[in-house]
Amino acid sequence: MTSSDVKLSKSLENGIEFSCQMCGDCCRGFEEGEVYIYQDDITRLTEFLNITSNSELKKFARKYLKIIDDTFYWNEPGEEEGKTYTFKTLGFKFTGN
């Protein structure tokens, strides 16, 4: 399946607007919730944290990132049966108080 095969619902076509509420509910840890992170997020983080070498990036990734196995079920409108899709993504774990 390619990204062009995936059709988003109208409510998700333009992404999800998210503003951190500083509550910790979605980023408390991998057991209680995950915050997905993507390549452009990693690029911005490494620039902000001044990570300039692969060894620094690996150290950062080992401490703060985790591969998350996830699934979703999609039923095409008008079809009797849907399909469960499995994917892997990166999760970001926030630490601190």
Question: How large is the angle between the packed helices 54-64 and 39-48, nearest 10 degrees?
Answer: 110
**Does 25 fall in a domain?**
no
pLDDT digits (tens, 9 = 90+) for 8-67: 555 555 555 666 676 766 655 555 556 777 788 888 888 888 999 989 888 888 887 888
Range of the domain at 51: 32-97
Cβ neighbours of 61 (radius 10 Å): 13
pLDDT at position 19 is 67
**Does 39 fall in a domain?**
yes
Give the chain's domain count.
Answer: 1
